[in-house]
Structure 1
Amino acid sequence: MKQMKLTEKKRKDILDAAILEFREQGFPAARVNRIAELAEVSKRTLYKHFESKEVLFAAITDILLQEIAAMPKLRPEADAPLREQLIAAVRDYVGHLTGEQYLGLNRLVMSELLRDQDLAQAFFAKAAMQDGPISGMIADRMQAGALRRAEPGFAAGQLLSMIKHFLVWPQFLMGTKADVDPDAVIADCVDMFLAHYAK
């Protein structure tokens, strides 16, 4: 495994410290001095890597975008039943979104995006450029004629909004899983989606 350079390690330490400070204090109250202290670097070193608290926060939003991009890519199998493929893909998607690393970053970023609409617009413009794996699968099956034609991102949003209501938002907002059977929820939502889109 390639060893991390000292400058890369310092940058990572600063980002980790900033995530901790922003989580504990919120962005407006977070202090650069405290971030430098947590990262065990000088304030000068911190500013060498990140010229302001805003730039540091933007780097954290980029980490979240990288997490979104890291969602497993799907290879649609023409011979496999679409229902089973969608169920497996959605299960992986929910697992990714509810992982502790992703949830923590998402809570941190979203709390600031609610406060700053300019930052929110910039973030969601970048996020929109990510080619979601489920959207890609739906587009492929629409192209193949297995699903009726529509805008794939919109169709994927319909499916995933239902899923998130039951399996993501309770954990994101309240830190607890909803009292439902996740497999049954996923199967029901996929069936509703297919009832609308399958040919």
Structure 2
Amino acid sequence: MKRNRPLNEEKRKAILKAATVEFYEKGFEGSSMDTISKKANVSKATVYNHFKSKEELFLSIAYMLKDRFSQSFRFEYTKDKSIDEQLNNIAKKEIDFLTVKENIELIQIVTIVLIQKNEIGVKLLEEVNEDNITMTTNWFEQAHKDGKLNIDDSEFIARQFIGMIKAFAFYPQLYGAPLLDKKEQERVIKKSVEMVKSLYLVK
């Protein structure tokens, strides 16, 4: 039994990889477990052994994206670090995540289903949270309590800050624009941080 476990895990990964390609190319409705099994080079029965339905397979990909998101946005407000340094760190985490081609493709897959507002889309809306907004909102709240930023709505400022980054490093890429190069990334980070400081930093 022990010898089969690595092989089973390899097959699961192969199925998820094949499903990601299939959903990206054809969307949820246009994809089939048949084609996914062929792309993964496994039997259809093997696919169903790992995932009971196409919906479960799709949700596994969505949760995989959520886990990546959660792992990427781990930070806390630190009193002994400057606002400038911490804002740069938050912006860099967002940029780093959004300049990985595979992450953008996963987001595109999930976004299409959310837009369709079908049963699986509704389930995703209920279960998948914006961890980057939550973490950033908490950070702004702590910075405000520490007297460093003058704000009255932490979530609004968090969305404003992350939204400016996404305006350059996410939304255009959803429609096929190239990922930002290093110089462009640095410029977006710098301008986003400057915007927050100019509007909300306590002088």
TM-score in terms of structure 2 length: 0.83
Aligned to 1:187: 190
Q: Which residue of 1 aligns with 2:172?
A: 170
> What secondary structure sits across from 1:41 in the alignment?
coil
> After superposition, where does 1:97-112 map in structure 2 within 5 Å?
97-112=98-113
CA distance in 1, matches of 2:163, 2:52: 37
> Which position in structure 2 is the counterpart of 1:21?
22
How far apart, in 1, do the equivalents of 2:188 and 2:130 lie?
28
Distance 1:79 1:12, change over 3 A: same
Shift of residue 128 of structure 1?
2.5
Residues 54-94 of structure 1 show CA distances to partners (whole Å, capped at 9, x for unaligned) of 11111111111111112142244323320232023202211
1:137 maps to 2:139: yes
Q: Is the 8 A contact 1:90 1:134 kept in 2?
A: no
* CA apart distance, 1:178: 6.7
Q: Structure 2 counterpart of 1:83, which letter?
A: D
Greater CA drift, 5-14 or 59-68: 5-14
SS of 2:29's equivalent? coil
Change (3 A) 1:193 1:13: same
CA distance in 2, matches of 1:169, 1:77: 30
Deviation at 1:112, TM superposition (A): 2.0
Structure 2 alignment gaps of length 5 or more:
none
Against the structure 1 CA distance between its residues 113 and 69, is the aligned structure 2 distance closer, same or farther, given a 3 Å change threshold?
Answer: same
Q: 1:129 to 1:103 in 2, by over 3 A?
A: closer
> How many angstroms apart in 2 are the aligned matches of 1:168 and 1:28?
25
Going from structure 1 to structure 2, the CA distance change for 1:128 and 1:21 (only over 3 Å counts) comes to closer
* Letter paired with 1:32: M
Distance 1:137 1:8 in 2: 38
Contact 1:171 1:177 in 2 (8 A): yes
Task: Show structure 1 runs of 4+ deviating over 6 A.
Answer: none
What aligned pairs does 1:46-195 form with structure 2 within 5 A after superposition? 46-128=47-129, 130=131, 132-177=134-179, 181-195=184-198
Distance in 2 between the 1:140 and 1:113 partners?
32
Cα distance in 2 between the residues matched to 1:9 and 1:89: 34
The Cα shift of 1:139 comes to 2.6
Instruction: State the aligned residue count.
Output: 197
In structure 1, the gaps of 5 or more residues are none
Q: Which moved more, 1:128-137 or 1:141-150?
A: 128-137
Pick closer, same or farther for the CA change 1:35–1:103 going to 2, 3 Å: same
Cα gap change, 1:187 to 1:13, in 2 (>3 Å)? same
The 3 A distance-change label for structure 1 pair 28 and 129 is closer
- What percentage of aligned pairs have identical amino acids? 28
Check the 8 A contact 1:170/1:178 in 2, yes or no: no
2:114 and 2:125 in contact (8 A); partners too: no
- SS in structure 1 opposite 2:28? coil
CA distance in 2, matches of 1:91, 1:128: 20
What TM-score, normalized by structure 1, do the two folds share?
A: 0.84
In the alignment, the residues of structure 2 paired with residue 182 and residue 129 of structure 1 have an alpha-carbon distance, to the nearest angstrom, of 22
